[in-house]
Structure 1
């Protein structure tokens, strides 16, 4: 009898556990209820447009008309589109030069702004201010500065006996000018580098000084290796941002891409096809090609990071 009573007591349900289960279920419902606005927004404004754009890339959809299903015709037309390849070339040119330069100048500026000098907060603010300027205002400002006739840049070059080029009016100098303008606004990346420099322990530098390491050795064997996680982050974001360059070149050329389409970037051409020529199916195909390119480049950077990114304590 005693054994059967023990068996019954083990198999019987504890009445206290039932309210706990109901409480967990209620909390789960409450959690989903509070998260529902974000979930609905994610589905309506992200997931649905992504799926729709994939479908539209196989159609002749033009905003005004639903269009017909044409399979891979948009993609095949892009292969034979000269301006499509021109826009890719301009974008790759910008990304290949701008991203490395932004990392080099960003790290160098961060190291200078990390020095213990009186009034350093003022210098940091000065270098960060250009990032607060809207892209349209930035474009107007540099159009005046780089004006070949009365611009400040060519005026300063004339004083030292150098005849300045046409800058934005020259096919040769238009993209370097855009790269220079973009480098003017790397203050946000500099702030991230400063945070990374502040995270490096002083114990490493103290040990290096004891071993007799000079400034260059401390920089190349301590600072840069331990800063690679931050460089890795800015590299990924820089590549993505470079391939999505739009506002600055579009404002500088009023959407024309002049001279000779040297400032027609990929996203600019995508925008023209979608909202200027109403070829939304064509633009959707371009958007998915851009997505694939960025995804491949990001995966390559992540794959290579195992060889050059070093984390503290590892």
Structure 2
């Protein structure tokens, strides 16, 4: 009985297969530095932080396994953790809506009919690219008891303003206001780009039907802008939950713990008090909160985000 011979692949097919293998090896060679950096500086530290969160891990000295003890201590024994979560929530609830409203309002005002709108866009975007330290120092000088705001208020109206940065209620308000001023230009440009992409036939049909002003904005433009609104909401929410530089530089977390956010709490525990395990546990709690909120936003977007006209 004659064995059935397996037909050889055509020459062109073998050449293509060999070329694909060569290209795969070349691609792996090109991305290997990035993969090495990702593994060394991202994946490995993330895995190590999980391990650290399960240990009493001082910067120097003996480390002991405590299991979930660090997580339990944060909620039961540490007096600053829950206030830090509360402060982060207050900042987020104040910063996110105000940032989106101000950014969208500026984008609407800087419409095609405004002369020099490109210059205005650059002007409003400058705080985004200006170093955070410079922004904070300017605001700190403005808000001091002998600063510009208090000086103008006293000279013009005879009213002496409170010491904003030393008042428990006003300090968080000033952190929010300064953060909105510093970051509104980014979302403004996103909304400007989204407004320029609105389908003109839909807008023209709405005008013919009598839609204008507030009705045009709420019934036509905002639904068309919902993908951009969703994107800016998610990104601004994630950024606000990780706020650190503004309260750190403007108020130092004070007065008391009035402006202490969760990221500053993590920084203090890890790098000031040398409690690396506790800091890692708090970081993973923050990560879980961010993931949960982002997942809820993606689930809710099906009910209000319109991707097609």
Q: 1:22 to 1:86 in 2, by over 3 A?
A: same
Name the residue aligned to 2:215.
Answer: 217
- Equivalent pairs counted in the alignment come to 303
Q: Report the TM-score, using the length of structure 2 for normalisation.
A: 0.94
- After the TM superposition, which segments of 4 or more aligned residues of structure 1 sit over 6 Å from their partners? none
Name the residue aligned to 2:9.
Answer: 14
SS of 1:184's equivalent in the other structure is helix
Q: For 1:247-282, what per-residue CA distance to the aligned partner results, in whole angstroms no more than 9, with x for missing partners?
A: 1111123x4x22121111111110011111111111
Which ranges in structure 2 are unaligned for 5 or more consecutive residues?
A: none
Which ranges in structure 1 are unaligned for 5 or more consecutive residues?
A: none
Q: For 1:41-76, what per-residue CA distance to the aligned partner results, in whole angstroms no more than 9, with x for missing partners?
A: 111111111111000000122233461211111111
8 Å contact from structure 2 (residues 143, 150) kept in 1: yes
Instruction: Identify the range of structure 1 (266-275 vs 22-31) with the bigger mean alpha-carbon deviation.
Output: 22-31
Name the residue aligned to 1:208.
Answer: 206
Q: CA deviation at 1:161?
A: 4.3
* Equivalent-residue separation in structure 2 for 1:235 and 1:65 (angstroms): 44
Q: For 1:151-201, what per-residue CA distance to the aligned partner results, in whole angstroms no more than 9, with x for missing partners?
A: 222223332344312111100100001111011121111111111111111
SS of 2:40's equivalent in the other structure is helix
User: Which of 177, 180, 184 is 2:181 aligned to?
Assistant: 184
User: Which of 89, 92, 107 is 1:110 aligned to?
Assistant: 107
SS of 1:212's equivalent in the other structure is coil
* Equivalent-residue separation in structure 1 for 2:18 and 2:118 (angstroms): 55
Name the residue aligned to 2:153.
Answer: 157
Name the residue aligned to 2:249.
Answer: 251
The root-mean-square deviation of aligned C-alpha atoms, in Å, is 1.6
Q: Report the TM-score, using the length of structure 1 for normalisation.
A: 0.92
